[in-house]
């Protein structure tokens, strides 16, 4: 029987690997101008062999002129010195001389006043995020430490749109694990906390206590604590925050709107009651705060709703604006019912079906629909707006002598050169071997970077020259004359791999007579067009969008009709293709676009 024994074996195989130089070339090619400038500045700091060629550095012609000046005869130099000789008395700066004696206070010399001041960017305020806005509101509320910690934990689970991404079970389990990890003693406090401290709120979903290794009583208290904290966060600004889905988000906003309308109606009735009893102009009466009794008014008591209802039933108060308040409240209640029970019909924008479902007229349903449109489905986005992206074109297509040429934008881009001092150091006999090896390695790295930057420039130039040859009609006449073009075709024309062209046009922009465009804008797949020519997909989508915008809202075009209209223009597409592009443009279907009387 054969025994298992360790053995050594040799195997010859070929494998492609990326050298450091090739990896740098690939990364440099994908950079735009701003990123390349930042990368060059970083390399200049890290590599002492590299240095930037500045404008004040003397060139070879200037150095030759200085050498010729040194070789001039001594007689000419003496004659020029005597001719330019000035009175020594005029060279004395009497202002600074007497300033030390005439100035009553101390003044430090100018060389000590040149201090490095902080950058102005340090004084610019950073935009506030949604989390910052919510934490600021938490700091202004009077909460117990346990509720405050739970509210902070909930805020940490809110995404950029303002929705709470975790379920009740995930929140509970994560909160308990965090309390145990921090060892803050909050779990012990939860076990002894009274139900009144949590306002009697109990969570619907409770995780299995056995899986958490925590006492069931503590789990129950933590669940109620998180529910209380969630209720607190949902009452913060912006309204609709910390909701689990769209329905809950809209319900939070519309219910708050209805509550505001009822409070406004109550204020109005109280003001009318006070004016009626005192026989004054209602506009001159200062409306008391809500919930506060009006002196001499028997209908205002601790239970404001009961007093309000009694006043209405007795019909003792002329309410000039009460019908308006009642109509707004009714519209708000209808909108609440639509969001809660008929959200699918709302998404279809079928007003007739909505009116039947809620038992209201079409006009009333339209007003409720318009009110719902004022709500914000993404309340957190207003605090998470990204800054405008700075775009600087890498190339420009300039017309010269009736021909377009490609011009690289190299303004403010550092010009690199090699430091000659380190080259002389390599030739010196007294230089240590370690120093020479380090300088040689830095020289190779600097040369490789300079070659890669030049290779990037050549690749971009050749790619853009191919684009100019293929898109001459676009440059002359506009977007409507854009032709389909594939990256593979350009790569075959300039003799490189398609991935190289893809990196060359990635995140780079070009300035043309038609505007500033991303280089990828010119690459688009084509469809069958008139006379066998291709039509870019972008233009096809623009045509579909234009046809839909010009349609009759009462009789919107179907996908079959859109495909037929495009075929009459010489563009051979099917209904499924039109439907796909319509969905890409986020345009509703025919049924959803139809407006009914």
Over residues 231-244, the pLDDT tens digits come to 998 888 888 888 88
| DSSP 8-state assignment for residue 561 | H
Q: What is the pLDDT of residue 206?
A: 42
pTM of the model: 0.54
Domain final residue pick, 242, 261, 284:
242
Q: In terms of domains, do 252 and 231 share one? A: no
| Mean pLDDT value across residues 114-122 | 49
Q: Which of 383, 380, 127 is nearest to 239 (CA)?
A: 380
458 falls in which pLDDT band (50, 70, 90)? very high
**Residue found under tokens 């990326």:** 18
Q: Give the count of beta carbons closer than 10 Å to the beta carbon of residue 555.
A: 11
Mean pLDDT rounded to a whole number for the chain: 75
Instruction: Specify the number of domains making up the chain.
Output: 4
Q: In terms of domains, do 170 and 294 share one? A: no
Q: How far is CA 238 from CA 127, 220, 243, 379, 548, in A?
A: 16, 30, 11, 6, 35
Strands 515-518 and 534-536: unpaired
| Mean pLDDT value across residues 3-26 | 80
We report the CATH number of the domain holding residue 574 as 1.10.10.60
Q: What is the pLDDT of residue 413?
A: 83
Q: What is the pLDDT of residue 110?
A: 45
Q: Which long-range contacts (CB under 8 A, 24 or more apart) does 51-54 make?
A: 51/416, 51/417, 51/418, 51/419, 52/414, 52/415, 52/416, 52/417, 53/414, 53/415, 53/416, 53/417
Is a pLDDT exceeding 50 seen at residue 25? yes
Residue 399: its H or E element: strand 395-400
Q: In terms of domains, do 256 and 300 share one? A: yes
**Residue 94 covered by a domain:** no
Q: Can you tell me whether residue 526 is helix, strand or coil?
A: strand
Q: In terms of domains, do 404 and 430 share one? A: yes
Over residues 142-186, the pLDDT tens digits come to 888 888 888 888 888 888 888 988 888 888 888 888 776 655 444
Q: How far is CA 228 from CA 159, 202, 216, 235, 247, in A?
A: 20, 8, 18, 11, 21
**Residue 206 covered by a domain:** yes
Is a pLDDT exceeding 50 seen at residue 200? no
Q: What is the pLDDT of residue 299?
A: 40
Q: What is the pLDDT of residue 455?
A: 92
Instruction: Please report how the helices 322-341 and 362-373 are oriented relative to each other, as an axis angle in degrees rounded to 10.
Output: 80
Over residues 397-428, the pLDDT tens digits come to 998 888 889 998 888 888 888 888 887 887 77
**Residue 314 covered by a domain:** yes
Q: In terms of domains, do 238 and 327 share one? A: no
**Residue 96 covered by a domain:** no
Q: Which of 313, 268, 265 is nearest to 287 (CA)?
A: 268
570 falls in which pLDDT band (50, 70, 90)? confident
| Mean pLDDT value across residues 460-485 | 87
88 falls in which pLDDT band (50, 70, 90)? low
Q: Give the count of beta carbons closer than 10 Å to the beta carbon of residue 293.
A: 15
Residue 510: its H or E element: strand 509-512
Domain final residue pick, 335, 353, 383:
383
Q: What is the pLDDT of residue 79?
A: 60
Q: In terms of domains, do 317 and 212 share one? A: no
Q: In terms of domains, do 368 and 438 share one? A: no
Is a pLDDT exceeding 50 seen at residue 264? yes
**Residue 63 covered by a domain:** no
Domain final residue pick, 497, 524, 551:
524
**Residue 13 covered by a domain:** no
- Domain region containing 277: 247-383
Q: In terms of domains, do 251 and 378 share one? A: yes
**Residue 329 covered by a domain:** yes
Is a pLDDT exceeding 90 seen at residue 86? no
Q: In terms of domains, do 430 and 327 share one? A: no
Q: In terms of domains, do 568 and 491 share one? A: no
Q: In terms of domains, do 334 and 447 share one? A: no
Q: In terms of domains, do 267 and 231 share one? A: no
Cα separation, 491 vs 497, in Å, equals 6
**Residue found under tokens 């206070």:** 105
Is a pLDDT exceeding 60 seen at residue 296? no
**Residue 378 covered by a domain:** yes
């Amino acid at each position: 029987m054969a025994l298992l024994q360790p053995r050594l074996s040799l195997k010859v195989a070929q494998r492609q690997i990326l050298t450091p130089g090739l990896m740098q070339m690939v990364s440099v090619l994908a950079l735009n101008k701003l990123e390349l400038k930042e990368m060059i500045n970083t390399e200049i700091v890290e590599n002492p062999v590299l240095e930037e060629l500045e404008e004040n550095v003397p060139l070879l012609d200037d150095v030759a002129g200085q050498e010729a000046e040194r070789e001039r005869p001594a007689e000419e130099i003496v004659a020029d010195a005597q001719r330019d000789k000035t009175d020594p008395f005029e060279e004395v700066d009497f202002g600074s001389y007497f300033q030390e004696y005439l100035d009553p206070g101390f003044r430090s010399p100018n060389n000590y006043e040149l201090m490095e001041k902080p950058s102005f960017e340090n004084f610019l305020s950073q935009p506030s995020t949604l989390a910052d806005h919510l934490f600021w509101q938490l700091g202004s509320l009077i909460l117990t430490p346990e509720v405050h910690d739970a509210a902070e934990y909930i805020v940490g689970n809110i995404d950029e749109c303002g929705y709470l991404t975790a379920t009740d079970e995930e929140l509970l389990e994560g909160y308990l694990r965090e309390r145990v990890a921090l060892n803050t003693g909050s779990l012990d406090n939860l076990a002894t906390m009274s139900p009144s401290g949590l306002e009697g709120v109990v969570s619907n979903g409770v995780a299995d206590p056995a899986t958490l290794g925590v006492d069931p009583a503590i789990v129950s208290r933590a669940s109620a604590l998180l529910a209380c904290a969630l209720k607190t966060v949902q009452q913060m600004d912006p309204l609709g925050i910390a909701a689990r889905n769209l329905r809950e988000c809209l319900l939070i906003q519309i219910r708050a709107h209805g509550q505001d309308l009822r409070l406004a109606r109550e204020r109005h009735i109280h003001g009318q009651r006070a004016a009626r009893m005192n026989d004054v102009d209602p506009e001159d009466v200062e409306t008391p705060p809500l919930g506060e009794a009006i002196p001499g008014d028997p209908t205002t008591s601790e239970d404001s709703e009961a007093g309000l209802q009694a006043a209405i039933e007795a019909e003792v108060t002329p309410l000039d604006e009460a019908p308006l308040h009642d109509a707004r409240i009714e519209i708000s209640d209808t909108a609440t019912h639509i969001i809660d029970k008929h959200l699918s019909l709302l998404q279809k924008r079928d007003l007739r079906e909505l009116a039947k479902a809620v038992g209201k007229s079409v006009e009333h349903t339209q007003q409720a629909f318009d009110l719902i449109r004022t709500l914000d489905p993404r309340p957190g986005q207003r605090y998470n707006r990204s800054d405008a992206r700075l775009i600087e074109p890498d190339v420009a297509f300039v017309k010269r002598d009736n021909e377009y040429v490609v011009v690289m934008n190299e303004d403010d881009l550092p010009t690199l050169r090699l430091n000659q001092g380190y080259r002389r150091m390599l030739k010196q006999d007294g230089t240590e071997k370690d120093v020479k090896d380090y300088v040689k390695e830095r020289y190779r790295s600097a040369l490789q970077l300079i070659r890669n930057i030049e290779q990037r420039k050549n690749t971009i130039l050749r790619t853009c020259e191919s684009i100019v040859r293929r898109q001459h009609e676009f440059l002359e006449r506009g977007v409507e004359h854009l032709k389909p073009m594939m990256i593979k075709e350009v790569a075959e024309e300039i003799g490189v791999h398609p991935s190289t062209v893809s990196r060359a046009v990635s995140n780079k922009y070009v300035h043309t007579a038609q505007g500033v465009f991303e280089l990828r804008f010119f690459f688009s797949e084509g469809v069958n067009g008139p006379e066998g020519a291709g039509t870019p997909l972008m233009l096809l989508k623009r045509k579909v969008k234009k046809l839909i915008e010009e349609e009759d809202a009462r009789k919107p075009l179907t996908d079959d009709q859109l495909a037929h209209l495009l075929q009459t223009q010489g563009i051979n597409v099917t209904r499924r293709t039109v439907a796909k592009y319509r969905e890409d443009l986020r345009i509703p279907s025919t049924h959803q676009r139809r407006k009914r009387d």
